[in-house]
A and B are shown apart, each in its own frame.
Chain A
Amino acid sequence: MEQHPWIPSLTREQVEKMLRVIGVEKIEDLFSDIPSSIKLSCEQWESLDIGLKRPVSEVEAKRIISEKLSRNKKLKTPPFMGGGVYPHYVPPLVKYIISRGEFLTAYTPYQAEISQGLMQALFEYQSLMAELLEMDVVNASMYDWGSATAEAVLMAVRVNKGRKKIILPENMNPLHKQVVEAYTYPHGVKLVTTPYNRETGGVDLEELKKLVDGETAAVYLQYPNFFGVVEADAKAIGEIAHEKGALFITGVYPVALGLLKSPGELGADIAVGEGQPLGLGLNYGGPYLGIFATRYDMNLIRQMPGRIIGLAESYRGERGFAMVLQTREQHIRREKATSNICTNEALMAIAAAVYLSMLGKNGLVKLAEINYYRAHYAWSRMKSIGLEVELFKYDFFNEFPVSFNKHGVKYSLVHEELLKRDIHGGLYIGNYYPELGETALYAFTELHFKEDIDLLVNTLSEILSKR
């Protein structure tokens, strides 16, 4: 290999020049400190199963990868599936901005003066998110909703010193719960599940009251909850937590905030959520955007995880931006840091900032309404063909459970039949909630046109009528 587009100094002349200056004969001499018993020869290394065991040109690589990816199934519509992340529209403008090399290929803005545009964009993300959540302080991102929730729980335990009990609702996303379990396991945190009300679908207030006590560090509430239900008693839940001195943590689907009260208005002390619906793709698991916010209270802020960009001034008096409150972070506090997070999801935060700027106050409400109406349209249509969709009394946002119990079919069979027709149905949740039996969670967004929904419902009707 004597040329490569990504290794400019590969030319013989340049290599020779460098070797001469360094004073060695060949490149391998620079590796003489690696003990021979573990040093790989060229032949050993090249015999390993890595890539195609040979360099591949750009056109070839493109062909190989495209060919493999073409084996993914083509679906007629985006999947009718949510469960924490949703098929939403990603405007080309968002993609364009985050593809610009100045942002895309930058590192964390350690050198502020040459990175002001990046820092301003991140500050704007924090600020836009603060308005959406009506919370004062927002960090520059966590990995995703699940890990943000886990960090919120750990933060609550630090803030509420001596209290080790955390109350998690049964109707929160079960995957987020698993993340909380993994993060808290080493710290002796007691996770207690509070049940949902089988009638309303929301957290059961009476049961919750029995569980919250002087040992409780925090109560978590997801809204809309995992069933898509809007948690009409959210405010009361926060009050129950606060009465006993526990923190109130809320987890949100940000698009729903076009129609639902904000965490700030509900009295949340910490708000977390998933930024994916705000201009990010589904990306088969990531990157996503963990939203993390708190109130302006130094006792809370000092325990907050993650990077924060703040307004600043230059010594010349210009407006600028700087990383602030860094004495919480790992590079300074090491084992005493509030979190180990370093690389975060900054570019995704910028994507969300661009999208929120495009939407503006009315656009966000409108987007929420589209999601709401699409899902409610689907709900009415499903109901009209005799599907059991009225599982809970409280209203839902853009996602709701559909039960097939009455039809006496396994959901897997319905799913199979849909898939045969290139439609991907909802998420089976009977494994998490055995009491709900053959039930799947269906989600609808602006990407599911009325025709798509009609196609889904007609197909379901056809599948069930054949039974």
Chain B
Amino acid sequence: MSTFRQAKWSEPLIFELGAPGRIGISLPDVEEEKRVVGEVKIPESIKRTSPPNLPELSEVEVVRHFTNLTQMAYGVDNGPVPLGSCTMKYNPRIAWDIAFNSGVDQLHPLQDERTVQGLLELMYELQKWLANIVGMDVCTLHPAAGAHGELAGVLVIRRYHELKGQLDKKTEIIVPDSAHGTNPASAAMAGFKVVEVPSGEDGNVDIEALKSVVGESTAGLMITNPSTLGLFEERILEIAKLLHEYDALLYYDGANLNGIMGYARPGDMGFDIAHINIHKTFSSPHGGGGPGAGPVCVKNRIVDPERNIKLGDLLPGYIVVYDEEKGMYRLKGPGPVSVGLLKSFFANTIPLLWAYTYILMMGPQGLRKVTEHAVLITNYFAKLMEGVRGYEIPYGRGRFRKHEVVLSARPMAEEVGVTAEDVAKGLLDAGLYAPTIYFPLIVKEALMTEFTETETLENIEKYAERLKEISSIAYQDPSKPKEWPLNTSVGRINVPKANHPKYVAPTWRVYIKKMRGEIQ
């Protein structure tokens, strides 16, 4: 067993720190302005009568508190984070430097375009690069994340059918049963009914099942390729043809682009719309849950020849265009047939700057290497795990994986009751972050593992060793894994209790009110 021990600070809550009268920042005084203006004139009906109940800390206490908290967190900067579907690659510090220290943080999104030409040029180039990477014609950088891009995409599908006067019958979006939860959720947010299709044993979409659900009511299909099983959808061209016969559009969920970049492009596979997860494939950090950016690119196919409407006209948000006449970059806002604005302003520019830096430095050669190594590592790891007692690799037997491989701890769970969750906690104890567990839903006891090109060979071997060790402990004494983790800052969290209506406390305010019996 490794000697990992995470810091354990028993750090109080911010509300339990500080003392009345302290402050953590020195603010300017406005006595001169006050002399001119006089007292605050806000009407009593809206004027706050007592200050908000915020804790009072000095700057010293604030820095210590949050520094201690960081020591009880774990990111790619600490070690491997092979969360499948999340593409947790290294987030280059050079991009951090550019994103944080180049003055872009001081640019207002409604500023005169002439004052932000440098930035707009970068964003214009990025749109073009991304379009070429996915084989599409037009990109909007507007959406804030992958799911936001999906919403943009399905709204485009909706508008497409609306403009063609066929929305009343185009009511369904098809998603495979291996799809990420955001796909059906996005389709529903765009007002569609969701139809699920099963996957076959080979990991591909069951084409017969697909044929049986595609029809006049099909508005579109949302799919990842490679799938969430890490397998390339070999019959994608056939699928595209089938869908297009019914004038349904194909939506590409770009979460898994790291598995094919430089080898195949969604645009060439027959997809009409694709989103890109900047915070996965293009190295912007996840920030413990966000921010991200989810540009959406489309094939500029004709929607209405008479009115000269193309698919790109339907995209939401602002697109950077170059005005030849004026010799400058401009932001083109949503036009009359666009699906509109999905957030208040342009885009999540900071993560996009990160992506710009990454693509610039990698070049096409580097990006292809990224994919090659992500795939090489995945298959190497899969090989190391082949035949290890307690695990199996369901679906697509004998097939090469792409960006990720989904192990299953089903045998171990069935034979000795040690589950994917227990395995995950055993990894944490060795100072290794766990894979994504229990997803995709079609794999029992799933351990969805994606190392990305970032991981060292040594760590991959160590990871496989640890999984083997966990298995042998599980078969020797299946009660042991139930006690894990032991080396993290706290022991296993009682999640059911945290969700119990009596205890659930989403804020300190609720906790205090419950203690006082003010709410049940």
B505 surroundings in chain A (CB, below 8 A)? 310-311
Whether a CB of chain A sits under 8 angstroms from the CB of B434 is: yes
A350 surroundings in chain B (CB, below 8 A)? 66, 287-288
Whether a CB of chain A sits under 8 angstroms from the CB of B109 is: yes
Assess whether B181 is in contact with A138, with CB atoms less than 8 Å apart. no
A144 surroundings in chain B (CB, below 8 A)? 144, 343-345
Assess whether A419 is in contact with B114, with CB atoms less than 8 Å apart. yes
A286 surroundings in chain B (CB, below 8 A)? 109, 144, 291, 293, 343, 345-350
CA distance A128 to B86 in the complex (A): 29
B353 surroundings in chain A (CB, below 8 A)? 65
- Provide 10 A-B residue pairs closer than 8 Å at the C-beta atoms, listed in order of the A residue: A4-B369, A22-B376, A45-B368, A99-B100, A137-B510, A186-B155, A284-B109, A287-B348, A314-B492, A361-B56
Whether a CB of chain A sits under 8 angstroms from the CB of B330 is: no
Assess whether A258 is in contact with B51, with CB atoms less than 8 Å apart. yes
Interface residues of B in 353-403 (CB under 8 A from A): 353, 356-357, 359-370, 372-373, 375-377, 379-380, 383-384, 399-400
Whether a CB of chain A sits under 8 angstroms from the CB of B433 is: yes
Whether a CB of chain A sits under 8 angstroms from the CB of B507 is: yes
- Identify B111's interface contact among A79, A179, A288, A367, CB under 8 A: A79
Residues 34-69 of chain B: 1 if any A CB is under 8 Å from the residue's CB, otherwise 0?
101100111101111101111111010011011111
B158 surroundings in chain A (CB, below 8 A)? 186
B166 CB, min distance to chain A CBs, angstroms: 15
Q: Given A83-B110, A104-B77, A111-B424 in contact, is the A377-B27 Cβ separation under 8 Å?
A: no
Q: Given A38-B269, A284-B107 in contact, is the A55-B234 Cβ separation under 8 Å?
A: no
Whether a CB of chain A sits under 8 angstroms from the CB of B13 is: yes
Whether a CB of chain A sits under 8 angstroms from the CB of B341 is: yes
Whether a CB of chain A sits under 8 angstroms from the CB of B335 is: no
CA distance A176 to B342 in the complex (A): 9
A132 (CB) vs chain B CBs: closest residue: B52
Assess whether A50 is in contact with B364, with CB atoms less than 8 Å apart. yes
A424 surroundings in chain B (CB, below 8 A)? 108, 111-112, 115
- Identify B491's interface contact among A45, A55, A72, A318, CB under 8 A: A318
Q: Given A342-B145, A358-B25, A366-B27 in contact, is the A334-B372 Cβ separation under 8 Å?
A: no
Q: Given A283-B104, A357-B57 in contact, is the A71-B504 Cβ separation under 8 Å?
A: no
Assess whether B155 is in contact with A182, with CB atoms less than 8 Å apart. yes
B31 CB, min distance to chain A CBs, angstroms: 9
Assess whether B357 is in contact with A61, with CB atoms less than 8 Å apart. yes
Whether a CB of chain A sits under 8 angstroms from the CB of B232 is: yes
Assess whether B285 is in contact with A130, with CB atoms less than 8 Å apart. no
Assess whether A324 is in contact with B454, with CB atoms less than 8 Å apart. no
Whether a CB of chain B sits under 8 angstroms from the CB of A463 is: no
Assess whether B112 is in contact with A357, with CB atoms less than 8 Å apart. no
Whether a CB of chain B sits under 8 angstroms from the CB of A211 is: no
B282 CB, min distance to chain A CBs, angstroms: 12
Assess whether A287 is in contact with B290, with CB atoms less than 8 Å apart. yes
Interface residues of B in 407-444 (CB under 8 A from A): 424-425, 428, 433-434, 436-437, 439
Whether a CB of chain A sits under 8 angstroms from the CB of B200 is: no
Assess whether B263 is in contact with A33, with CB atoms less than 8 Å apart. no
Could you list 7 further interchain pairs (A-B, Cβ under 8 angstroms) beyond the known A287-B290, A373-B33?
A55-B366, A69-B104, A123-B507, A284-B346, A310-B499, A337-B181, A427-B110
Whether a CB of chain A sits under 8 angstroms from the CB of B476 is: no
Q: How many of chain A's residues touch chain B, expressed as a range?
A: 35 or more
B130 CB, min distance to chain A CBs, angstroms: 9
A31 CB, min distance to chain B CBs, angstroms: 5
CA distance A174 to B18 in the complex (A): 41
Assess whether A101 is in contact with B111, with CB atoms less than 8 Å apart. no
Q: Given A104-B287, A144-B343, A283-B105 in contact, is the A27-B376 Cβ separation under 8 Å?
A: yes
A340 (CB) vs chain B CBs: closest residue: B185
Whether a CB of chain B sits under 8 angstroms from the CB of A14 is: yes
B159 (CB) vs chain A CBs: closest residue: A185
Whether a CB of chain A sits under 8 angstroms from the CB of B480 is: no
Assess whether B51 is in contact with A141, with CB atoms less than 8 Å apart. no
Whether a CB of chain A sits under 8 angstroms from the CB of B199 is: no
Interface residues of A in 81-113 (CB under 8 A from B): 81, 83-85, 87, 90-91, 93, 95-113
CA distance A284 to B492 in the complex (A): 42
B42 (CB) vs chain A CBs: closest residue: A395
A418 CB, min distance to chain B CBs, angstroms: 10
CA distance A187 to B155 in the complex (A): 12
Assess whether A21 is in contact with B380, with CB atoms less than 8 Å apart. yes
Assess whether B27 is in contact with A367, with CB atoms less than 8 Å apart. yes
Assess whether B48 is in contact with A146, with CB atoms less than 8 Å apart. no
Whether a CB of chain B sits under 8 angstroms from the CB of A193 is: no
A126 surroundings in chain B (CB, below 8 A)? 506-507
CA distance A69 to B100 in the complex (A): 13
B300 surroundings in chain A (CB, below 8 A)? none
Assess whether A380 is in contact with B37, with CB atoms less than 8 Å apart. yes
B488 CB, min distance to chain A CBs, angstroms: 4
One of B117-125, B208-216, B241-249, B465-473 at the interface? B117-125
Assess whether A55 is in contact with B493, with CB atoms less than 8 Å apart. no
Assess whether B234 is in contact with A33, with CB atoms less than 8 Å apart. yes
Assess whether A85 is in contact with B108, with CB atoms less than 8 Å apart. yes
CA distance A311 to B48 in the complex (A): 29
B33 surroundings in chain A (CB, below 8 A)? 373-374, 376-377, 450
CA distance A334 to B28 in the complex (A): 49
Assess whether A106 is in contact with B52, with CB atoms less than 8 Å apart. no
B495 (CB) vs chain A CBs: closest residue: A322
Assess whether B290 is in contact with A46, with CB atoms less than 8 Å apart. no
Interface residues of B in 75-119 (CB under 8 A from A): 75-78, 81, 83, 86, 88-92, 94, 96-98, 100, 102-112, 114-119
Assess whether B344 is in contact with A183, with CB atoms less than 8 Å apart. no
A326 surroundings in chain B (CB, below 8 A)? 499
A72 CB, min distance to chain B CBs, angstroms: 4
- Identify B73's interface contact among A51, A102, A231, A322, CB under 8 A: A102
B481 CB, min distance to chain A CBs, angstroms: 14
Whether a CB of chain A sits under 8 angstroms from the CB of B332 is: no
Assess whether A340 is in contact with B186, with CB atoms less than 8 Å apart. yes
CA distance A232 to B47 in the complex (A): 8
One of A114-122, A163-171, A240-248, A403-411 at the interface? A114-122
A27 surroundings in chain B (CB, below 8 A)? 372, 375-376
